[in-house]
Structure 1
């Protein structure tokens, strides 16, 4: 940890001015990040594109995240993190500005470059944001600080989704791109002048740097197990859901606005989870998180069985609740467990493991629909998502999101050992 001071959890992280500015910067960037994919997806569909065209738009961002996340993690441990955030926002504002001036002269598939370049900048900044939080706050405020960052990101997700859909419907793509560019620029302004209280480290080389982060993760099998489960969730659950949602929304949920409402409900559902996670400290946060995360299977299930807009929106809200509850406990556990010198790389590997298979999921959705049909694909997505989450609980350490204790003979305690030792303590 970069700041081991323990502060009462009732204190507000917003009392720390540097954290407040980071919080404002993330709010602006989150709005723009959501406006872009929603607006571009609806624009492509409006121009006659289908599932393949939407997959190209969304896949550009996913591929960029995979390619650039590890680079972002290495940079976060070697370069001033606030400078990385400012550069990423300036880059995204510039990309959107160029698109604003030229989108009407580009083929639809070329618009994937906008989401790809924006995703690359986002990938470079993600590890910097998450490793900067423990440098700006005392250890006792990590859950509340992470929760506050999440609440603005989720609220901005709702606002951005609705704004993107409304602007496409009422004013066109030019207005949506203009809003995104302004918000990215504001994000860069807010982060100006924030010092990085953790000293960046310079290692012997980039490959050695990456290997050090990988070693920190490999020493913790429970971390690898959770990363694997989330990878399956994104590959088999998120990818087909996001590809088929705008098409199903147009077909039977009410059109583009319904698409934005359903996406926005992910953010709405996250808000009570953020409030809960910032106050409740279960003794087994991993068990709570992974069991809750099985509710993400409701997203593809709701689309598979044509539940209608109200029930579909409710299922997405429950999925948003589950993901956010997991994420806050998980991120706080990594920030406490991973040494500060390699935290940025470890957080990048966490994100990389999650997103590495997402482009594969996008690519496989079309063939899966051709073989299984849309309903069959979504049912399979739900089953795989739930199973992956439950199976992680067999790995020692997952139930507590911490390194398991060692037996007297020096070996790691098994899941049965840990459960038996704590059977009277409850959650």
Structure 2
């Protein structure tokens, strides 16, 4: 018979790991397993159908263009409707579009336009999913251990991504990309089922107010009133664009020409994922006082993978570079989520997240579409060195913003007054004409691996 003292030990879990947090983490793990392999599979589906670098870039652009068009609408809806319903609807659309993509690839050599249409539908689902998901996660975690909770969430998601990328690359090499796309469709179905059980009763109903445009203006004021927020959004508008071009277009081509194909490229991406797991593990114990100064310094290594592909270095060296950059950049991902959780009011999480995502992805369709022509005009090596240089230059520029250097972690007791003060500052600064561009994998890598780039923020 089990003793009374032993029974609770089996079910004991941290106070911050409640039911919603557990469901969100489980769903993110499932989608990470499917989506990391599917990103590689879509590129090789184009190449197997006779496409070239320009075609791969167009497919990546088709995924991200709907994100740019619909993200703000998705953010406003997620702060107005139950967030879990928005997430489930988006997962359903992703499941159907990826399943159709898989069928087309498995039954023949589909034309590029069909693959682009289905990929665009998947991107549309992501536009509504991402702000709702990030808002749901931020509203679920409370208290002093928020940073640790975000780190565990990202560690679980990135850990699943290791297996997803490695298994996806191996399956593409063994049986082709179509089956990997089918696995991704099944993963969306499972994740949507888990998210259907999320509880939003803890989120107070919004009082009747203005329409969607008024909601978006409120979100805009939150962004423009905080220099640390809009400066990093601006930074990642370019950083994510060039990383996306290097990862989605140049990476598979370098792998095909110099590394041995899809398998080694999948393992390289898995090494980056392994690095982020180690980085998240470190962040479960480390609580840097200056959140964004520490995080931004750790963005510099994101220039290294593009530089390694430009050389190109041998496979073993590329794996080391990807692992190292993953370890350091995850510090930024956790710090960024902690800063948003600390500084942004709960009822505006999804709208601010939508502006964040919009900035992260606004230039990505253009960058991926131009990656092929840039290779033809300047050469692949020069294009990759340009990607690395832009990452380093813009990261250095962000360090010149005082709020990025000085924003500090605050105890929960200080945050209520701080949130009120920040909201007032946002209104005053916007009225004075403080307008700025916007910027996530996590990186994102987004809080979910369904992002095409793995948004970092």
| TM-score band, normalised by shorter chain | 0.7 to 0.9
CA RMSD of aligned residues (A): 2.4
Matched with 1:122 is: 126
Matched with 1:424 is: none
Query: Cα–Cα, structure 1 residues 399 and 90, in superposed 2: closer, same or farther, change >3 Å?
Result: same
Matched with 2:366 is: 360
Query: Which secondary structure does the structure 2 equivalent of 1:282 belong to?
Result: coil
Query: Cα–Cα, structure 1 residues 306 and 320, in superposed 2: closer, same or farther, change >3 Å?
Result: same
2:295 to 286, 289, 300: 289
The answer to whether the 8 A contact 1:42-1:165 is kept is no
2:339 to 333, 336, 344: 333
Aligned mates of 2:79, 2:45 — CA distance in 1: 39
Matched with 2:276 is: 270
Residues 388-425 of structure 1: per-residue CA shift (max 9 Å, x gap): 1111111121024469999xxx999xxxxxxxxxxxxx
Aligned mates of 1:240, 1:214 — CA distance in 2: 30
- Counterparts of 1:67-82 in structure 2, within 5 Å, are 67-82=69-84
User: If the length of structure 2 is used for normalisation, what is the TM-score?
Assistant: 0.82
Aligned mates of 2:18, 2:379 — CA distance in 1: 52
Aligned mates of 1:109, 1:334 — CA distance in 2: 38
Query: Structure 1 residue 95: deviation in Å?
Result: 1.6
- Counterparts of 1:294-373 in structure 2, within 5 Å, are 294-373=300-379
Q: Bigger shift: 325-334 or 175-184?
A: 175-184
Query: Which secondary structure does the structure 2 equivalent of 1:394 belong to?
Result: coil
Matched with 1:377 is: 383
Structure 1 stretches of at least 4 aligned residues deviating more than 4 Å after TM superposition = 402-406
Residues 68-111 of structure 1: per-residue CA shift (max 9 Å, x gap): 22122111110111111211112211222333444436313421
Matched with 2:188 is: 184
The answer to whether the 8 A contact 2:279-2:328 is kept is yes
Matched with 2:227 is: 221
Query: Structure 1 residue 193: deviation in Å?
Result: 2.3
- Counterparts of 1:6-405 in structure 2, within 5 Å, are 12=14, 15-103=17-105, 104=107, 106-196=110-200, 197-201=202-206, 202-401=208-407
User: If the length of structure 1 is used for normalisation, what is the TM-score?
Assistant: 0.88
Matched with 1:420 is: none
Residues 173-227 of structure 1: per-residue CA shift (max 9 Å, x gap): 4422321121111101112221112134354111111111011110011111111
Aligned mates of 1:187, 1:74 — CA distance in 2: 23
The answer to whether the 8 A contact 1:284-1:399 is kept is yes
Matched with 2:447 is: none
The answer to whether the 8 A contact 1:133-1:145 is kept is no
Aligned mates of 2:15, 2:28 — CA distance in 1: 15
Aligned mates of 1:326, 1:320 — CA distance in 2: 10
The answer to whether the 8 A contact 2:147-2:287 is kept is no
Query: Structure 1 residue 126: deviation in Å?
Result: 1.4
Aligned mates of 2:170, 2:318 — CA distance in 1: 20
The answer to whether the 8 A contact 2:43-2:248 is kept is no
Query: Structure 1 residue 281: deviation in Å?
Result: 1.2
Q: Bigger shift: 356-365 or 196-205?
A: 196-205
Aligned mates of 2:173, 2:17 — CA distance in 1: 40
